Chain A
Amino acid sequence: MAILTLKDITKKYLFKNSFFSFYSGEIKAVDGVCLELEEGKTLGLVGESGCGKSTLANIILKLIEPTTGEVFFNGKEITQVREKEFRPLRRQIQIVFQDPYSSLSLRLRVKDIIAEPLEACLMEKNKILERVKELIAQVGLGQEYLVRFPHQLSGGQRQRVGIARALATSPRVLVLDEAVSSLDLSTQAQIINLLIRLQEQYKLSYLFIAHDLSLVRFVSDTVAVMYKGIIFEKGPTEMIYDNPAHPYTKLLLNSIPSFEKSLKNRKDRYMIKQDFSLNKSEKFFGCSFYQNCPKPMPCCEKQMPGLKEIGKNHFVSCFCYE
C-alpha cells in the first residue's frame, strides 16, 4: 500500500507584468501531478531546474498549499487538515532542504538545530542529547561540531546537519530535495549508504529529488520524470532507464556524460530552445514539450496528452503511444 499518494496536485502562481498592469497571468508550477510512494521504497523525481520539483516537495510537507489536488499520507488526506492537527504527523514526514546555507537558523548551535524536532515531539530531555550524538555520528560529523554555529561549517557539513535534523524524529517518509547534491562524492556515498541502511532497517520511504541521473538510478525503485510541472513518464527504474518511452526522458538520459562517446559528437544531444512567451500565453493548450520535441506531431499542438500505461506500471504522457 502506498504510504504517500499525490492526487492531481496543481499549484498555480499568479503574476503581474508590472505594477500598473491589469493583466495578470498564471503559471502552473505543478500541473496535475499524480504520484504514489510505496512504503519502504524510493521514488526518484528528476527534471530540469524550475520544473516544480521543490514546489511539489513543499506541498507534500504542507509548507505551501496546492491550488487543487489531494495528498494522502497513510491513507489520510493532509492538505485540508489544519496545521495544529497536522503537527503530530510532521515527525513522520521530514524534509532535507536544497539550500544548506539559508535553511539552517543562524543563531542556533548544531546540537540545538538537531535537538529541536525532538523537543517538538516531546522527547525526554536526557534522551535528546544521546540521540543527537548518535545522529551526528551517523552523518559522519565529529562530536566537536555539536557546539558550532552553522556559519562555521562548510556547505557539505551544513547539509549533513540538515540530514541529521531530518532523521532525528525517525520519520516514515523523507523528502530529499537535492539533499546530497552539494556533498563531495565520498560523503555522498556515505550518506546514500546510510539512507539505504535506514531504509532496510526501518522501512523508510524516500522521495528522492535530484538531477544526478546515475545516482537516481542507483537509489530509486521507481522514477518519475517531470517537465514544466507535468509528469511525463513514470515507472520502475529499470524500465525507465533501459527503455525510455518519452522523447524528453530519452533526451535526458542521453545527456548523461559517458566515456564512450563525447557529448559534442552526439547527434541527438539535448538542445533547449525555450520560448517563455509561449509558456505564459494561455491560448496554447498543446504539449508543453512541443517546442523542444524532436518528433512533434500535428495533434501535439492542440492538446496535452494524458498519462497512458504502456507497460506494467509504466506510464507515459505522449501522443506517440496513444
Chain B
Amino acid sequence: MLTLFLRRLFMLIPLLIGISLISFLVIHCAPGKPTDMQLQLNQKVSLQVRERLEKLYGLDKPLMTQYVMWVKRLIRLDFGNSFIDNRPVIDKIKERIPITLTINILSLMLILIIAVPIGVLSAVYQESLFDRAMTVFVFIGFAMPTFWLALLLMKFFSVTLQLLPVSGITSIDFENYSFMGKVIDYSRHLFLPIIISAFTGLAGLSRYMRTSMIHVLQQDYIRTAKAKGLTMAKVYFYHALKNALLPVITILGMSIPGLIAGSVIAESIFAIPGMGKLYYDAVMSRDYAVIMAILVIGAFLTLMGNLLADLAYFIADPRIRVGPCE
C-alpha cells in the first residue's frame, strides 16, 4: 500500500518534466516576446538596448538552455520574477490565490450540497416529474453561457433590485468596516460569482450521481436490505449511497486543479482580481515566468488530485483495501 503510493509519487517526476517541457516549448513558440511591451511603445529604442534587455531576461540563450535554467530555479521552488514588473512570481500568485480559492471552494461545496441530493432523489424517483424537472434544470445550467447569465443576474440583483454590488470584491470604504462588516461586504460581492459558477457546474456531478445511484439500486444487496426490513431512508442513504459515492470521489479528485484556476470570463465580468485574470494578462504580455508557474502548479495539482482520488478509493472500498483486517 505504502510502496504503491510511493511508486505512484515517484512516477509523477517524469510526468511533470514532460508536461513542463511541452508547455515551455509551446509558450515560446507563440509569436511575440515579453520585451515587446516595453519596446514597441517606444519606436526609438536602439538595437543595443533591445539586446541588453533580452540578455537581462536570458532570452538570447538557446531555448534548451533557458529551460534548464528555469528547471534549476524551480527545483529551489523559485518561480523567478515576472518579466513585466520584475516582482517575484510567487508573490503575484500569492496575492491572487486566496480570492480564487475562496470562490471555487465555496462553489464546489455548494455544488456538492445541491448535486448529490438531486442525483440521489432523481435515481430513487427515476422518471418521475422531479427527475425530469431536475434534468432540465441542470442542463439549462450546463448549457447557459456564463457571461450572459452573469450579466443578466448583475442587472437583476444590482441594477433592478439594488441588492448587491455590481462588481469587484470590496466596497470603496472597505477599510473602515468592522470585522463583521468586512465579512458581509465580501459575501455580498462574492454571492453572484459563486452562485453562477455553482449553477453551471451542477450538471456533471448530479448526472454522475444519478447514474451511479441507479446502477447501485439495481443490485441484489439493495433487495436484501429491503427484505431485512430497513427503513427506505436507510436502504437509500446508507446501503446505496455509500456505494454510489465511489465514482464521485474520482470527480472530486479531478476538480482539485480547477480550484486554483480561476475562470477568465467570470473574473473579467465581475472585475475580480483572481488567478484567471492573472493568467490571462500573463499570456497576453508573454510573461513566461508567470505562465509557466501557473501551468506547472496546475499540472502538479492535477496529478496530485488523481493520486488522492485513487487513495480515497483505497480507503473507501474494502475490496481494494490490502492488508489484514483488524
The answer to whether A147 has its CB under 8 Å from any CB of chain B is yes
Question: Which of B224, B230, B242 meets A120, CB within 8 Å?
Answer: B230
Size category of the binding interface on chain A: 20 to 34
Do residues A103 and B223 form an inter-chain contact, with CB atoms below 8 A?
yes
Q: Is A97 an interface residue (CB 8 A)?
A: yes
> CB within 8 Å of A: which residues of B?
219-221, 223-232, 234, 239, 242-243, 317-319, 325-326
- Residues of A11-70 contacting chain B, CB below 8 A: 58, 61, 63
Is the pair B319, A151 in contact by a Cβ cutoff of 8 Å?
A: yes
Q: Is the CB of A105 within 8 A of B221?
A: yes
Question: Is A106 an interface position by the 8 A CB rule?
Answer: yes
Contacts of B234 in A (CB 8 A): 120
**Is A97 in contact with B224, judged by CB distance below 8 angstroms?**
yes
The answer to whether A106 and B326 touch across the interface, beta carbons within 8 angstroms, is: no
Chain B residue with Cβ nearest A114: B228
* A87 located at the interface, meaning its Cβ lies under 8 Å from any Cβ of chain B in the complex: yes
Bitwise, A105-123 to B at CB < 8 A (1) or not (0) is 1110000000011001100
Tell me the bound Cα distance from A88 to B319 in angstroms.
Answer: 33
A99 interface hit (Cβ, 8 Å): yes
Q: Are B319 and A106 in contact (CB under 8 A)?
A: yes
CB distance from A206 to the nearest CB of B (A): 16
How far, in angstroms, from A31 to B225 measured CA to CA in the complex? 28
Q: Are A103 and B224 in contact (CB under 8 A)?
A: yes
- A185 to B317 Cα, complex, angstroms: 34
Asked if A262 is an interface residue, CB under 8 A from chain B, the answer is no
Q: Are the CB atoms of B224 and A151 closer together than 8 Å?
A: no
- 9 pairs from A and B in contact (CB 8 Å cutoff): A63-B227, A87-B229, A99-B220, A105-B239, A106-B243, A106-B318, A117-B230, A149-B325, A152-B325
Bound CA span A116–B319, Å? 21
Contact check, A105 vs B318: say whether CB atoms are below 8 A apart.
no
Say yes or no: is A91 at the interface (Cβ < 8 Å to chain B): yes
Interface pair A169/B223, CB less than 8 Å apart: no
Tell me which of B224, B232, B325 contacts A105 (CB under 8 A): B224
Contact of B229 among A99, A106, A107, A120 (CB under 8 A): A120
Interchain nearest-CB distance for B320 vs A (Å): 10
B221 to A: closest C-beta gap in Å: 4
Q: Is the CB of A165 within 8 A of B232?
A: no
Cα–Cα, bound, A218→B221 (Å): 30
B227–A87 touching, CB < 8 Å? no
**Which A residues are in CB contact (< 8 Å) with B228?**
90, 116-117, 120, 165
Cβ contact within 8 Å between A97 and B220: yes
Contact indicator A87/B231 (Cβ below 8 Å): yes
The answer, yes or no, to whether A231 is at the interface (CB within 8 Å) is no
Q: Restricting to A77-95, which residues have a CB under 8 Å from any CB of B?
A: 83, 87-88, 90-91, 94-95
Instruction: Determine if B326 and A121 form an interchain contact, defined as CB atoms under 8 angstroms apart.
Output: no
B226 near A105: Cβ-Cβ < 8 Å: no
**Closest A residue to B243 using CB positions:** A107
A209 at the interface (CB under 8 A from B): no
A280 and B67 CA atoms in complex are apart in Å by 73
Residue among B221, B225, B229, B325 with the most chain A CB within 10 A?
B229
Closest B residue by C-beta to A90: B229
A residues within 8 A CB of B226? 63
Q: Which residues of A contact B326 (CB under 8 A)?
A: 147
Bound CA span A17–B157, Å:
54
Are A104 and B229 neighbours in the complex by a CB distance under 8 Å? Answer: no
A120 CA to B226 CA in the complex, in Å? 11
Inside 8 A of A149's CB, which chain B residues have their CB? 318-319, 325
Q: Which residue of A lies closest to B225 (CB)?
A: A105
Does chain B have a CB within 8 A of A148? yes
Given A87-B229, A90-B227, A149-B325, residue A102 in contact with residue B221 (CB < 8 A): yes
Closest A residue by C-beta to B239:
A105
Q: Do A106 and B227 have beta carbons less than 8 Å apart? A: no
Q: How far is B21's CA from A152's CA once the two chains are assembled, in angstroms?
A: 46
Q: Which A130-179 residues have C-beta < 8 A from chain B?
A: 147-149, 151-152, 162, 165, 169
In the bound complex, residues from chain B placing their C-beta under 8 Å from that of A94 are: 227
Q: With the chains together, A284 CA to B317 CA distance in Å? A: 51
Chain B min CB distance to A128 (Å): 13
Which one, A95, A147, A148, A151, contacts B227 given CB within 8 A?
A: A95
Report how far A162 CA is from B221 CA in the complex, Å. 11
A188 vs B239: C-alpha distance when bound (angstroms): 30
Closest B residue, CB atoms, query A94: B227
Given the contacts A148-B325, A169-B229, A104 and B224 also touching, CB distance less than 8 Å: yes
Contacts of A95 in B (CB 8 A): 227
Bound form: Cα–Cα A240–B232 in Å: 42
B225 neighbours in A (Cβ, 8 Å): 105, 116
Find chain B residues with CB under 8 A from A88 CB: 229
**Which residues on the A side are within 8 Å of B221 (C-beta)?**
102-106
